Structure 1
């Protein structure tokens, strides 16, 4: 019963508090306390010993507001894979839509899932939240437009249209010609 209560309590504590509580309990038990509490809680003896050292030092080395030291944790995905951001930018460039004056964030017709899958297929795995964060860095809005009924009705035709427009844009850019972007929307009649 006591083992269950200890494990219930430490499941609600952060890693520092867990380490300190188990170190206090190990000290209370006395000889063999670290080994016993390591078996009961699943914490390693080294973790319990670290908690004991921190308590003996009066928690002087531990920051009051942070659980982990600054700079801890995994580096961002784009730091691990420097080619990730340029490849994502190349993926969304042909399908970019948005305000030509640059007052609002650009949009893309692919979903976060589709972009994540395409990046994985290209050998640069990235989760949907990572793709959303990178899109924001590139000036895109990762949110899907609420009015996508047109896109759902005929995705193959729409995809062909976007590919045709991208090819035309590339052809005009190569020739040094000007490109004019026109964004037109259907106006519905109110009933």
Structure 2
């Protein structure tokens, strides 16, 4: 009987967020009285220190606990670009030679996947997951998805990358001379 009750309590506790878990354990320990904190800690695996914190918060009628959040503002680890201030500018430099625009819209596209960009950043000493790279790519105004032509290019000949590099080199030459660069998007008609 006791084992089944403990199993149900642990099942219930596993579905709660960290605040709710702390408060539930605090209520149960208070209900049990003397030795309740140790018993609830042993049953649920929640530390006695956490249960005591829950009891203090409940005694204060949750006055210090933020509504609609689990943690206080500023909680959690700092964003990757805060820890590494050069990350965003390095990513922008990686994207510059492979940027393509959508002639019908204002979106910018890239040729590399988020994982490829993450690996290239790591090679340069800037650690960032593909998710972080995706967030930064959106912040820089790029679509996080690989351009559709890039997906088609997997079946294209290997010279295609050389073509892109050639175009990028010519573009840089013209920009260095202060001359305009015009991009023309054409479709092959069969």
**Pair in the same fold by TM > 0.5:** yes
Alpha-carbon distance between aligned partners in 2 of 1:186 and 1:75, rounded to the nearest angstrom? 48
Alpha-carbon distance between aligned partners in 1 of 2:150 and 2:91, rounded to the nearest angstrom? 22
Q: Match for 2:178 among 169, 176, 179?
A: 176
Deviations 1:115-146 (A, max 9, x none): 11111121111111211111111111112344
Q: State the partner residue of 2:22.
A: 19
Deviations 1:26-75 (A, max 9, x none): 11222221112112211111110000111111222223322222222222
Aligned residues: CA RMSD:
1.9
Alpha-carbon distance between aligned partners in 2 of 1:61 and 1:149, rounded to the nearest angstrom? 52
Q: State the partner residue of 2:128.
A: 126
Alpha-carbon distance between aligned partners in 1 of 2:106 and 2:43, rounded to the nearest angstrom? 56
* Helix, strand or coil at the partner of 2:7: helix
Q: State the partner residue of 1:72.
A: 75
Count of residues paired in the alignment: 187
Q: State the partner residue of 2:37.
A: 34
Deviations 1:82-117 (A, max 9, x none): 11111111111111111368x421001111111111
| Structure-to-structure mapping, 1:21-170, within 5 angstroms | 21-99=24-102, 103-146=105-148, 148=150, 150-154=152-156, 156-170=158-172
TM-score (norm 1): 0.89
Alpha-carbon distance between aligned partners in 1 of 2:35 and 2:188, rounded to the nearest angstrom? 77
TM-score (norm 2): 0.89
